[in-house]
Structure 1
Amino acid sequence: MKFYKLFFICFLLCSRILFASNLAKTKCTETPEVYDLENKPEGFNLSNNLRRKAGSADIAKGELIYIKGKVTDINCVPVQNAVIFIWQADANGIYQNIKDASNADPNFLGSGKYITNNLGYYNFITVMPGNYQNINFLVQHPDFIELHTKMFFSDNSKSEDFIEQLAAPYTVDKNGTKTYRFNIVLGGHNKYTTY
């Protein structure tokens, strides 16, 4: 019986060492920067729901979509408290911040903000943008260099500046709503890790 206990303890210790060494060797590919400030708003809305203004029952026109993902460092360690800003065109293809936005959807926010949780996760509720087949991202964290990038739709990406690594795959729920998964890898490593 002592032999089995000793064997089990050795097995646990060896597996922890192997797991730790494999984790240390794991690398995530840094998200490419796409620096495009052409339609960046002067100020961002503070909600992660771009389909509806706070306190309003009215929702924006267009196909409902969800954007979910995880922010990590190059060692695949989650980055908590990263501030993610997004901005995009409404279903008519109009950005809210342009001078002549008279045809813009009055119920669409145009931009949003989310702070990642302790596991690095974030999510947004929005609509499929018209004309522009991407969503702009700005990620800020005091321990990392600010990242400007874009998320493209894997099912409809025909843009000239399309980068395959920025194409977000999607799933469809039972109601037919698409959820795009867009993970972001920041350059550098989390200061709380020892890798």
Structure 2
Amino acid sequence: MLQQPHYLKETPSQTAGPYVHIGLAPGAAGFEIFDQELGRDIAGPNAKGERIRVEGMVTDGTGSPVKDALLEIWQANADGIYAHPEHAGAVEDGFRGWGRVITDFGTGEWGFDSVKPGPVMGRNGNIMAPHINMWIVARGINTGLNTRIYFEDEDEANAADPVLGIIEWERRRQTLIAKPSIRNGQTIYRFDIRLQGQDETVFFDI
């Protein structure tokens, strides 16, 4: 007689919890426990291209700041090449192309310094407009959210981008566009992230 298979019950889902930023970015949270904090240096001192700063705020469905969010960033260099073993020698020494920041506990603002990425070769030889990939996690989010930051001053490249092209509504497309300004001679891009509600940021299922 065949024995019936035994199935385990699914483990209940959990959100990231209130201390995810301490566990993943202790230095940013005020706990200097590592000699070198993972994810602080995105571009490195040898990266070529335009030095930029990206800033923004994460807000919830009521418009209130989310003050305990953690954001991971990864990007290509100014030549559109990612730091990857397959591209050994093709990126500048010290260029990581990856970083991790948290929102300010008081204001909900976040920001990071890097270089502006170049156009990236996508699937089937399609060229993607300059962009920065972002992953967001916070208390109340069961699964990390994936989005992209595009640049308002890259109109021609954005118009031809295959990812932006699949977003039918222009208003929704605009939630992925960072707007530039100049502060003390440096280019600052503003990119606010809305988790729910009107003008919710476009998130990708990847």
**Equivalent position SS for 1:152:** strand
Alpha-carbon distance in structure 2 between the residues aligned to 1:180 and 1:98: 30
Alpha-carbon distance in structure 2 between the residues aligned to 1:125 and 1:138: 17
Kept in 2: contact 1:89–1:96 (CA 8 A)? yes
- Partner residue of 1:160? 162
Kept in 1: contact 2:68–2:139 (CA 8 A)? no
CA apart distance, 1:98: 4.9
Flag the structure with larger Rg.
1
CA apart distance, 1:81: 1.6
- Partner residue of 1:180? 189
- Partner residue of 1:88? 75
Alignment: residue pair count = 138
Alpha-carbon distance in structure 2 between the residues aligned to 1:99 and 1:116: 33
Q: What are the Cα deviations for residues 71-106 of structure 1, in whole angstroms up to 9, with x where unaligned? A: 110111111121100000011211012523321112
The alignment-based identity, stated in percent, is: 33
**Equivalent position SS for 2:175:** helix
**CA distance 1:149–1:117, change in 2 (3 Å):** same
Kept in 2: contact 1:69–1:181 (CA 8 A)? yes
Q: Greater RCO between the two (CA within 8 Å, min separation 6)?
A: 1
Q: Give unmatched runs, 5+ long, in structure 2.
A: 1-36, 121-129, 165-172, 198-206
| TM-score normalised per structure 1 | 0.65
Kept in 1: contact 2:149–2:191 (CA 8 A)? yes
**Equivalent position SS for 1:99:** helix
- Aligned-residue Cα RMSD (Å) equals 1.8
Alpha-carbon distance in structure 1 between the residues aligned to 2:109 and 2:38: 17
User: Out of 38, 47, 53, which is 2:39 matched to?
Assistant: 47
Stretches of 4+ aligned residues off by more than 2 angstroms: 45-49
Kept in 1: contact 2:46–2:93 (CA 8 A)? no
**CA distance 1:160–1:76, change in 2 (3 Å):** same
**Equivalent position SS for 1:130:** coil
Q: Give unmatched runs, 5+ long, in structure 1.
A: 1-44, 53-57, 189-195
| TM-score normalised per structure 2 | 0.62
- Partner residue of 1:77? 64
